[in-house]
Amino acid sequence: MPGRPARALKRLAEPGVQRCINRACGAAYSLRERIYLCPKCGETLEIDCRLARPKNPDFLRRSWAAGAKSKLPRDASGVWRYHALLPFGEDAPLVTLFEGNTPVFQAPRSAEYCGLSDLRLKHQGYNPTGSFKDTGMAAAMTQALISGASTAICASTGNTAASLAAYAARAGLKAAILLPHGQVSSSKLAQSLDYGALVLEIDGNFDACMRLVQELGDDPSIYVANSINPFRIEGQKTVAFELMEQCLWQVPHHVVVPGGNMGNSTALGKGFQELLDLGLIKRLPKLSVIQAEGAAPVAHLFEKLSPKQRADFENLPEKLEPVENPQTLATAIKIGAPVSWKKALRAVLRSGGKVIAVSEREIADAKAMIGRDSIGCEPASATTVAGIKKLVASGHIGRRDDVVAVLTGHALKDPDYMIRYHEGTLTAAHGAKDPATPKPMVGAFANAPQRVAATKAAILANLERRA
């Protein structure tokens, strides 16, 4: 009976453990322990769900499809209907705002722009708070309740903050948010305030906020909700499951995502790997991550890896050279020291993908092109289309390959950027000789509004002129 996926699939997930990703350490900890880095070696952790291979994968697929049609939050949520593959017991207090179930759009104009015959965009901006963070936050807030925390905290460039604020409120927890003062779009800040979070603006950038959050995580009253928390990743990995359902289990050649703190790429990589391990897909899509040039520490590292190092995803480089003063107008990914870089790099290398950087101008034009496809997204999301264009030009992506880009945030997250692009007043510090004097950027698809006299004749003449 495919109506109750969670119950039907109970056998698949054992309780699981939190495991250090450092192979030389490999320490395992109970799911109950509130830790974010390995207490033995300081490396990041991931959850090993100890999934068992299903005898009948088709049954699993059918029960997920049935769940999507259910009215019960537990089955209808794009996170909780995959409960059988998540590290939560049957009696877990599942927190949900009906996240997930986001659309996949055909994007013909963006495809042509990239030199592809076809391109699909999975839009995570259609989540309850307008960004991809909600799938992970449903899982993180559920675990926060299980662990008995009273205050959930995050550092954020804005979207994690809005998502935490909403999901903490839903869970009845206090939300505390550290934001880099003056570097977050007003739409995102407004959301956090409206959901009732305690917003603390810090003089410093996102990386400074992230360091503070890691210090605060030692306090027993505090629960860290950044993607360094492995339960966040568990919620976000469901995007890979949902995408494969939407692709009718035909694995795309390439999946492309933006890269900031590298939680999203980590999560998608984990999701695809688990589907492979479970026998639900036969190969991994090549996972590529795109960063903004002025905030691209992982792309810089990737570029320096030899072919031998790229093939050896089990022995990753020990250190990442951080970018001290990251710069990009895509403020969501203005990050110089991403916490999940190792897990993400491992996923990219394992799949045969790449990490590359794109310029401010490339991001801005790609964003306008996505808009022309009647989709729209925030600037960070547009790195994907800009990156795909470059990867097609370099031959990594074939013109007839099946490509899916994951858009991470809604267009209305940063309206100021859009207006300035179209009015031709956008200026970028990255790439300018002197960062104090930002460089003007005139976009290829600028579409400025024009003032017109309030007469029928003037309006018709204007439309004629701009045809």
Residue 278 Cβ, how far from ligand F0G at the closest point, in Å?
24
φ, ψ of residue 223 to 5 degrees: the values are: -120, 120
Positive or negative, the CA dihedral 170, 172, 176, 182 is positive
Q: How far is CA 190 from the centre of its chain?
A: 21
**Applying CB under 6 A, which residues contact ligand F0G?**
131, 156-160, 227, 258-265, 332-333, 378, 380-381, 408-409
Nearer to ligand F0G, 177 or 280 (CB): 177
CA distance linking residue 34 with residue 282, whole number of Å: 35
Residue 382 Cβ, how far from ligand F0G at the closest point, in Å?
10
CA distance linking residue 151 with residue 97, whole number of Å: 19
Give the closest residue to 137 by CA, choosing from 197, 203, 207.
197
Neighbours of 451 (CB within 10 A): 6
CA distance linking residue 333 with residue 443, whole number of Å: 20
Neighbours of 255 (CB within 10 A): 30
CA distance linking residue 192 with residue 188, whole number of Å: 7
Residue 380 Cβ, how far from ligand F0G at the closest point, in Å?
4
Residue 218 Cβ, how far from ligand F0G at the closest point, in Å?
21
Q: How far is CA 186 from the centre of its chain?
A: 20
One-letter amino acid for residue 51 of the chain: L
Nearer to ligand F0G, 83 or 133 (CB): 133
Nearer to ligand F0G, 100 or 260 (CB): 260
Residue 462 Cβ, how far from ligand F0G at the closest point, in Å?
35
Residue 34 Cβ, how far from ligand F0G at the closest point, in Å?
21
One-letter amino acid for residue 435 of the chain: P
Nearer to ligand F0G, 78 or 258 (CB): 258
Residue 15 Cβ, how far from ligand F0G at the closest point, in Å?
26
CA distance linking residue 135 with residue 232, whole number of Å: 8
25 exposure class (CB count in 10 Å sphere: 0-12, 13-18, 19+): middle
CA distance linking residue 236 with residue 259, whole number of Å: 14
Nearer to ligand F0G, 239 or 316 (CB): 239
Nearest-10 Cα torsion for 367, 369, 370, 376: 60
Nearer to ligand F0G, 116 or 339 (CB): 339
Residue 309 Cβ, how far from ligand F0G at the closest point, in Å?
22
Nearer to ligand F0G, 117 or 183 (CB): 183
Nearer to ligand F0G, 96 or 328 (CB): 328
How far from 383 is each of 214, 369, 454, CA to CA, in Å? Answer: 28, 12, 40
Residue 344 Cβ, how far from ligand F0G at the closest point, in Å?
7
Residue 147 Cβ, how far from ligand F0G at the closest point, in Å?
22
Nearer to ligand F0G, 131 or 229 (CB): 131
Residue 101: partners with Cβ closer than 8 Å, 6 or more residues away: 68, 76, 77, 78, 242
Positive or negative, the CA dihedral 262, 335, 164, 290 is negative
In this structure, are strands 151-155 and 222-224 parallel, antiparallel, or unpaired?
parallel
Nearer to ligand F0G, 5 or 125 (CB): 125
Nearer to ligand F0G, 63 or 261 (CB): 261
Residue 106: partners with Cβ closer than 8 Å, 6 or more residues away: 118, 119, 120
Residue 24 Cβ, how far from ligand F0G at the closest point, in Å?
26
Give the closest residue to 117 by CA, choosing from 402, 405, 406, 407.
402
Residue 301 Cβ, how far from ligand F0G at the closest point, in Å?
15
Q: Helix 379-393 and helix 360-372: axis angle, to 10°?
A: 100
Nearer to ligand F0G, 63 or 383 (CB): 383
